[in-house]
Structure 1
Amino acid sequence: MAQCTQSSPPRKGLGRRLLDLWQTRYTRPQPGARQAVAHLTPAVVVTGGSHGIGLAIARRFAKAGQTVALVARNPGPLQEAAAAIERDFGAKAFAIDLDVTADNAPFELDARLAQHALYTDVLVNCAGVGLSGNFDGQDAGEIEQLLNLNMTALTRLMRHALPGMRARARGGVLNVASLGGLTPGPYQAAYYASKAYVISLSEAVGYETRGSGVRLSVLAPGPVDTEFHPAMGTEHAFYRQLILPLSAEQAASAAYRGYVLGCRLIVPGLLNMLFAVALRILPHTLMLPLVGWLLKPREERNWSVTNDNEQ
């Protein structure tokens, strides 16, 4: 696990230039690739960017002076979030209302970005959905929705964006998973399994793209203080009482720092890092009962959340 512990990434000086050179150690831009987008502005594209972790990550990139494009389904909150970013940081922020689970979403996203003279330089996949309760009592349609958003849409967007990034030898992908992706999660079985997929995919593709100029990181936070957990009906589960949540801003700062430093797996918070190590090394025969006890809902019903962003 490449976890970052430094307090802040290097500024745009010698250290940052050396980091960028290291990222491109095996490659150079393909002829004409950067010229093809020279008339466009590079943008950090954040799915699930209207609130929660997604919005906090967008704000952190905007604070660093980068143009951001917020993507989610509901135009109202998107417009408000983009306006707040421009007001607070003086950075350009654009709102793109789009259902990322649509089959043509990657091409529609390209077209909508082009309307604003933008292209995807950094892709942040934060859109996600959670589901809690007994697996055999959950609605089959809601499980399909979870798989489509958490896995299929993320994979499709990532696969679409990477070839151009590699040709330009710059850019990157930051996927948002969960600490739960490191273990099976009874009573949140499909959700935890989807996050295991995101972590595995990100780490594997991150290895494939090493030295290509493309950063590829995955954020795996523990509980974060957003609307995600209450909407999923897990506020009375023991893990919500025992594990102190991070703020969305703390998770976003760790995500930005780890992405800049080129870390593949980013686990924010010292306690969460210790949990991550334990989940990696302890056998399932010990961890599974403990995780099940922590996650078990204290109310006899199934819950789902269909928010546009993670955690």
Structure 2
Amino acid sequence: MSKTALVTGASSGIGVEFARQLAARGDDLVLVARSVDKLEKLAAELRSSYGVRAEVIGQDLTAPDAASRVAEEVAARGMTVDLLVNNAGFGTAGRFAEIPAERDRDQLMVNVVSLVGLTHAFIPGMVARGEGAVVNVGSTAGFQPTPYFATYSGSKVFVLNFSLALWSELRGKGVKVLALCPGPVQTGFFDVVGTDKAMIGVQEKTPEAVVRTALRALDRDRGYVIPGLGNSVSSRFMSKLPRRLVALVGRKVTRGVLADPVAAPVAAR
């Protein structure tokens, strides 16, 4: 019997690759994002290539009721979510005082509030069935304070700790939880920022490699994974240093977003 995976942010980057690799495994898909046209194109590709069911839900995850709307739509289509991939997210970059407050609010709604809301919506059913899985996409930024990405890195700290707490709570209940914490990924993130001078991590990975690593780690119930040996070593090392020191050193690394005249104050992942 086929499983069903729900992937948010499925219109580009890591989300597209999760959809493709899960479809290749034989999973049916629920694709969620704002860009319905892109989702429909991807859904048609997955149906044609893999013979899976691929449903599209257009939803802006900055909306306060986004999670409940998605859950209601899934139920209306008679589907049960076996794997939830909370991939949707974006980052703001620049001086915190100069970033529009509403933009940071939207960032937290997507990166944190909708992630928790969707997890609340689908984990109870997984626990009742005694099987299921959740993948929450974080970042190596979640291992350290990151000046000029203050809200973004703060949101990714939440994703990491939230995921590991659930991983511990749900052990023995048949439900796996994974925090996927990539460094730089070839998704166009830094093209939108306008500079790669603030790249958080030492190895830029492809979406294909990141998703392969994530699915292997999920199968092994690892709790969290950092794709790339260099990124893993760097993140683990930084997390052991005094946090004030890391914050001060981090400012020297990330201030490139201020020095580059074409750097944008906001960026999408």
With the length of structure 1 as denominator, give the TM-score of the two structures: 0.80
Residue number in structure 2 paired with 1:171: 132
Match of 1:144 among 105, 108, 119: 105
After the TM superposition, which of the residue ranges 125-134 and 286-295 deviates more from structure 2?
286-295
Q: Which amino acid aligns with 1:166?
A: V
Q: Which runs of 5+ in 2 are unaligned?
A: none
Change (3 A) 1:140 1:238: closer
The residue aligned with 2:181 is 220
How far off is 1:233 after superposition? 2.8
1:16-67 Cα deviation digits (max 9, x unpaired)? xxxxxxxxxxxxxxxxxxxxxx9xx741000001110111111111111111
Q: Secondary structure at the match of 1:94?
A: strand
After TM superposition, list the pairs within 5 Å mapping 1:1-311 onto structure 2.
42-235=3-196, 237-239=197-199, 243-296=202-255, 297=257, 298-299=259-260, 302-305=264-267, 307=268, 310=269
Whole-angstrom CA distance in 2 between matches of 1:42 and 1:117: 13
Question: Separation in 2 of the partners of 1:123 and 1:153?
Answer: 12
Q: C-alpha separation between the residues in 1 aligned to 2:180 and 2:42?
A: 22
1:250-277 Cα shifts (integer Å, max 9, x gaps): 1111111111111111111111110121
Q: Is the 8 A contact 1:133 1:303 kept in 2?
A: yes
Q: How many residues align?
A: 266
CA distances 1:252-303 after superposition (whole Å, capped 9, x unpaired): 1111111111111111111111012112212224322332222111225652
Deviations 1:57-106 (A, max 9, x none): 11111111111111001110111111222233333222211123333333
Give 2:73's aligned amino acid: R
Between structure 1 and structure 2, the one with the greater Rg is 1
CA distance in 2, matches of 1:125, 1:162: 12
TM-fit CA distance, 1:206: 1.1
* Structure 2 Cα separation of the partners of residues 145 and 207 of structure 1: 29
Q: Secondary structure at the match of 2:7?
A: strand
Q: Is the 8 A contact 1:47 1:124 kept in 2?
A: yes
Secondary structure (helix, strand or coil) at the match of 2:136 reads strand
Instruction: Return the structure number with greater relative CO, CA threshold 8 A, min gap 6.
Output: 1
- Alignment gaps of 5+ in structure 1: 1-37
**258-267 vs 108-117, which deviates more?**
108-117
Tell me the distance in 2 between the aligned counterparts of 1:64 and 1:118: 18
RMSD of Structure 2 on Structure 1 (CA): 1.9
TM-superposed deviation, 1:115:
4.1
TM, length-normalised to structure 2 = 0.92
Determine helix, strand or coil for the equivalent of 2:177: strand
Alpha-carbon shift at residue 216 of structure 1 (Å): 0.5
Report the alpha carbon displacement of residue 108 of structure 1 after superposing the two structures with TM: 2.3
